[in-house]
Amino acid sequence: MKKSDLWAGIGMVMIAALCGATAFSFDTPAGSLLCGLAGALGVPGIAQIYKYFKWSRPEKAAEYQEHLEQERIDLQDERKEMLRNKAGRYAYVFILFMNCVLLFALTVLDTLGIVEADRWLIISLGVWLLVQYFAGVLIYDQLSRKY
């Protein structure tokens, strides 16, 4: 692996530590955002550092080359590319439909005075972002089994 991968991982961990220290040191409205950034940068940074040390050992050189070759093949495989495209399309249509249902439900609930739409809209859109990702993964797996 390249040395720049190691430095990028170290940089992410350092920024995550700074965000975490700031969030816990100061009582600010952005504390929860800083905690989220700390986790979002810290975990991938640690994973990248781990991968660097795992693959940069001399006894892993041949295995690393096989790993890179398999990754290249997977990215260029026409069947897998077609499945990724279909999974993306199905996930998009699913989420588009669900967003319509969500907006309709929020409008009705806001009109009836049951829910404040602005707060719930932010929460629900965050949840739907996660649903979109997992829907794509699940649909890809289903298509992979089918074909």
Residue 120: is its pLDDT beyond 70? Answer: no
The closest alpha carbon to 138, from 95, 77, 74, belongs to: 95
Task: Name the helix (H) or strand (E) containing 118.
Answer: helix 117-146
When pLDDT is cut at 50, 70 and 90, the band that residue 1 belongs to is: confident
Q: pLDDT tens for residues 31-76?
A: 889 999 999 999 999 999 999 998 888 888 889 889 889 888 888 8
The closest alpha carbon to 131, from 98, 108, 89, belongs to: 98
Give the C-alpha separation, 28 to 101, whole Å.
Answer: 35
Task: Please spell the DSSP secondary structure of 5-42, one letter per residue.
Answer: HHHHHHHHHHHHHHHHHHHHHS--TTHHHHHHHHHHHH
**Dihedral sign (CA 39, 23, 130, 72):** negative
**Per-residue confidence (pLDDT) for residue 53, from 0 to 100:** 92
Mean pLDDT, residues 79-85 taken together: 87
- Give the predicted TM-score (pTM) of the model: 0.57
**Per-residue confidence (pLDDT) for residue 122, from 0 to 100:** 61
More confident residue, 101 or 20: 20
More confident residue, 31 or 106: 31
